[in-house]
Amino acid sequence: MRKIVIAGNWKMYKTRAESLEFLQGFMSCLTETPEEREVVLCVPFTSLAVLSKNLHGSRIRLGAQNVHWQESGAFTGEISGPMLSELGVRYVIIGHSERRQYFGETDETVNLRLKAAQKYDLIPILCVGETKQQRDAGETEAHIFSQLEKDLVGVDQNKLVIAYEPIWAIGTGDTCETKEANRVIGLIRSKLTNPDVPIQYGGSVKPENIDEVMAMPEIDGVLVGGASLEAASFARIVNYQ
């Protein structure tokens, strides 16, 4: 049976104090959440330590938003697997379109980061997805298949989550039609050697559409940006019907 993974990606939002405030509100809303749903908070590096301390004993998992492929070295601004593992981090987002677009992340570096994450017992959440231009040109499938082929070389598919995030749906309020997201995710699954890899949808997920998204048979969870920043909103998403 495929695992359900509901993850919040806070991106570059929330100070340490704001993170703690969120956690208090969020935990009080989670009492009814079915245990089989994995709940992950992928927070800025500066909030990892304080959340780790306060998540102790909770079933909420801690996630980071990037990891370097070397264990240590002269890589200013980067963070290593052991540094994250030591803080109790369990998941790490890799290859988010914002990293690919603004920070020069390539399929080759994404592949290195994926393998490094697994080496240090972090479960990578690999993001793939097409631009509006690629979709309009009918290149969605070819682009995503190319990303998967390059990104997953030598990656263990037993310790992996994939997030399908159409770039044009991120932060725009322009959600991908749920049936279309379901179709693309089915195609992604057909390219994997392990059909049980959880595949999430990401892109303008919010309390108003989560029930419809999660009713789709191929969709195993969501990667949520904006709507994960407010405790009641993210709790409603985690508590989908």
Ligand X SMILES: O=C[C@H](O)COP(=O)(O)O
* Cβ–Cβ < 8 Å for 227, 209: no
Q: Is residue 38 annotated as a catalytic residue, yes or no?
A: no
Give residue number: closest CB to ligand X: 225
Q: Which stretch binds ligand X (CB under 6 A): 48-56, 67-75, 130-138, 222-230?
A: 222-230
Q: Helix and strand tally (H, E) in the chain?
A: 10, 8
Provide, rounded to whole angstroms, the least separation between the CB of residue 97 and ligand X: 7
**165 carries an active-site annotation:** yes
Site size with ligand X, rule: CB under 6 A: 14
Choosing from 96, 98, 105, 130, which is the catalytic residue? 96
Closest CA to 154 of 194, 114, 195: 114
Residue 223 touching ligand X (CB under 6 A) = yes
| Binding segment toward ligand X, per CB under 6 A, in 81-89, 146-154, 200-208, 213-221 | 200-208
Question: Binder to ligand X among 47, 140, 147, 204 (CB under 6 A)?
Answer: 204
Binding flag, residue 95, ligand X (CB under 6 A): no
Cα 72–chain centre separation:
24
Residue type, 192: L
Full DSSP string of 70-104: SSSSS-TT---HHHHHHTTEEEEEES-HHHHHHS-
Residue with smaller CB distance to ligand X, 182 or 204: 204
Which lies closer to ligand X via its Cβ, residue 8 or residue 35? 8
Region of 105 (left: φ > 0; alpha: ψ -120 to 50; beta: rest) is: beta
- Comparing CB distances to ligand X, the nearer of 124 and 226 is 226
| Of the candidate residues 170, 181, 197, 210, the single one contacting ligand X (CB under 6 A) | 170
Contact flag: residue 171 with ligand X (CB under 6 A): yes
CA distance 40 to 148: 23
Told to check if 25 binds ligand X by CB under 6 A, we report: no
Q: Point out which residues pair with 126 in neighbouring strands.
A: 94, 162
CB burial of residue 87 (10 Å; 0-12, 13-18, 19+): middle
The binding site for ligand X (CB under 6 A) comprises 9, 96, 165, 170-171, 202-205, 223-227
Q: Which residues are catalytic?
A: 96, 165
